[in-house]
Amino acid sequence: MAEAEIDVAVLFGGPSAEHEISVQSAATVIRCLAKGKYRVHPVRLERHGSWSVATPCKDLGDARFGDPCSVFQGLAHLQQVDVVFPCVHGELGEDGKIQGMLDVLRIPYVGSGVRASSVSMDKEKSKALVQAVSIRVLPSLTVDRFRWQKDRQAVLEELGCLSLPRIVKPLDAGSSVGLTRVDRPDQFEAAVEAGLSVEECSAVVAEQFLAGEEMTCVVIGGGDHDVVALPPIGIRVPGGGLFDYRAKYTPGGAEEICPAPQPAELQEAVKAAACTIYRLLGCRGLARVDFLIDDETPVFLECNTLPGMTDGSLAPKAVLAAGMTLEGFADRLVREALPLAGPRARTRAGSGS
């Protein structure tokens, strides 16, 4: 049988502030997978909680979606495909919730499992693990939503004792949504409010600001496959600004150079640290590990287990710099997930190879 008979469901959307970026990521993945090798089923998670399932298509712009259905009906559809490719950024996708549902139903999927997803999403938990293996992290203080609402003044007094400047950002959201630089104690209140205004955010982190260039490294593999770091990307924001949501997704908002212009020794140090963190957190498939550089030393910021796959995202830049095509990369991710699938999918994959 032909490879085109392998069914892949691409999940995207969701309730988070990254909904639109998720749609763009899914569009890229669908185009890559649909070039003759897979039958691709777009599945959109609506903001309000229902799901919408489309008939197989080769381009998200041509997708014909049915009426919104319940989560249970959506999951029943996923039980009919061979592999799920999650592109849900932020809540549900990167925190391990969707992965948990798929595990219970024994539906194979691309990317990291529940533990790696949930720990990576929590910036403080991941930093604690990384610090334990002697990789530098930035000092920070966490403020949860409940304590902020109950005793705001006491929290502000604690924050006021911290060294400045600080970066205040959501504990468990992505794409640098709700990120603020604080230079004076009287700016903390507005910064915390901005972070907690991100719908899925349960807490904010007040992290020490470090004036250094940012580097990020995409890592692939894991499980039964070799872990490989792709060429690191150097990031420069004009005027020394923050690499926030605007800088990430506005044309010209940041200079993203791949391979990074930093010395080879520093690039190798970043790749080694990224692989160590990837293994430590239990990632598989792919992830992007972000660092700041201080005196030629990588300082860990966070790990993204479902990095953006839009035309302007960092992960595709690293893939192309490594000499792969995006189509080949998407194919690799699906094929690495296939051994977790049932015998029907494995047989079909083998017959087309």
Whether the link from the prior residue into 68 is cis, omega within 30° of 0, is: no
- Cβ-based neighbour number of residue 17 at 10 Å: 22
- Tell me, what amino acid is at 5? E
Residues noted as catalytic: 18, 175, 249, 288, 290, 302, 304, 308
DSSP string of 184-246? SGGGHHHHHHHHHTSTT--EEEEEE---S-EEEEEEEEETTEEEEEPPPEEEE-GGG----HH
Q: Which residue has the tokens 């599945």?
A: 43
Cα atoms in the 13 Å half-sphere on the side-chain side of 306:
36
Distance of CA 73 to the CA centre of its chain: 26
Tokens 């090798």: give the residue.
Answer: 37
Nearest to 93 by CA among 106, 82, 84: 84
Tokens 């911290």 locate to 162
Residue 11 φ/ψ, nearest 5 degrees? -90, 135
Q: Which string of DSSP letters, residue by residue, matches 113-142?
A: -HHHHHHHHSHHHHHHHHHTTT-EE--EEE
